[in-house]
Amino acid sequence: MNKKVAVMDLGTNTFHLVIAGGDAANPTILYKATEPTKIGEGGINKGVIIPQAYERGIKALKQFKKQIDEHGATEVKAMATSAMRNASNGKDFINQVKAETGIAIDIIDGEDEAGYIYQGVKVSGCLSDNNSLIIDIGGGSIEFILCNKETIFFKQSFEIGAARMMDKFHRTDPIDEASITKLHQFLDEALISLFTIASRHRINNLVGSSGSFETFACIAEQQKANSLDISTIKTYDFKPDEFIKATNYLIQSTHKERAENKAIAAVRVDMIVVSSIITRFVMNKLNITEVTMTTNSLKEGVLADMLCN
């Protein structure tokens, strides 16, 4: 193994670390970790990382640094996205991380984030000559990429992530119809540029990138009395009725029901409701019925880029 690289995806809801070597198309994963830092909690729509979230983030990166050193990674990239982009104390966080761990965090803009997500999804092998709409639902932002395996027709990051939308619209348990209607109206306005471009292309399927879509897949299998180990797969194809049934359950569920459901990761217990509503809204708007999930996302795109060079 020529070199070992480490990639950190520092999202609004979770911090991810992957350490790998080998080639870009088929890397050897040496270590993976996900920390539910929730740095957007309590401050996502106020543009600040609150003290408790700030400390969770620092602690997670100290743990990541320890693993990076133990595995001997020689190249390290840490990419911060929506929450860090918009937080008034984001620079303070970055400076403290650099001082205490030596990790240099790059804040990437939405365009770069969408580009890396495309590369990550592409190396999973789930894109074809037909057009797909990739959707990556983060806590702070959502990236949409209209593409096929060769070409990107449109990519844009929208500051309408699940943590932001939950804070604005998910105030009752379970969420009520009036709140769903208000969220739909908000999305209608927020996603005009996506819907305008999408109307000019035939879209074969929606490709959901990791996160919420992994939960959708686990719920779909649970409803068939199966269990799904996400760590063993790269892609998953939903049957249309299975996807609708899984998201119906999530939208209609209570916090207690979701928290007690072993198919739902603790970090997604609440945000999965608005993630379901957003996905279904986009599918209905664009008349998409076919859905594929890939476990690949931004970090796999960055990883592929690092291992190519």
CA distance 192 to 27: 38
Inter-CA distances, 252 with 175, 193, 264, 291, Å: 7, 30, 15, 21
pLDDT for 3 equals: 85
pLDDT value at 2 more than 80: no
1 pLDDT tier (thresholds 50, 70, 90): low
pTM metric for this prediction: 0.93
* Contact call for residues 4 and 73 (beta carbons, < 8 A): yes
pLDDT for 86 equals: 86
pLDDT value at 35 more than 60: yes
pLDDT value at 205 more than 90: yes
- State mean pLDDT over 206-220: 96
For residue 168, count other CB atoms closer than 10 A to its CB: 16
Which of these, 283, 120, 125, lies nearest to 205 by C-alpha position?
283
- The tens digit of pLDDT for each residue in 232-290 reads 999 999 998 999 999 999 999 999 999 999 999 998 999 999 999 999 999 999 999 99
pLDDT for 48 equals: 94
Helices (H) and strands (E) in the chain, counts: 12, 11
* Contact call for residues 203 and 146 (beta carbons, < 8 A): yes
pLDDT for 96 equals: 97
In terms of Cβ atoms closer than 10 Å to its own Cβ (0-12, 13-18, 19+), residue 273 is buried
- The tens digit of pLDDT for each residue in 61-105 reads 999 999 999 999 999 999 998 888 889 999 999 999 999 999 999
- The tens digit of pLDDT for each residue in 172-197 reads 999 999 999 999 999 999 999 999 99
- The tens digit of pLDDT for each residue in 101-119 reads 999 999 999 899 999 999 9
In terms of Cβ atoms closer than 10 Å to its own Cβ (0-12, 13-18, 19+), residue 305 is middle
Dihedral over Cα of 222, 225, 230, 234: its sign: negative
For residue 301, count other CB atoms closer than 10 A to its CB: 26
Dihedral over Cα of 23, 25, 30, 33: its sign: positive
Residue-averaged pLDDT of the chain: 94
How far is Cα of residue 76 from the mean position of the Cα atoms in its chain?
A: 21
CA distance 34 to 265: 11
pLDDT value at 22 more than 90: no
Q: Could you give all domains of the chain from N- to C-terminal order, each with its CATH number?
A: 4-108 (3.30.420.40), 127-294 (3.30.420.150)
- The tens digit of pLDDT for each residue in 106-161 reads 999 989 999 999 999 999 999 999 999 999 999 999 999 999 999 999 999 999 99
pLDDT for 131 equals: 98
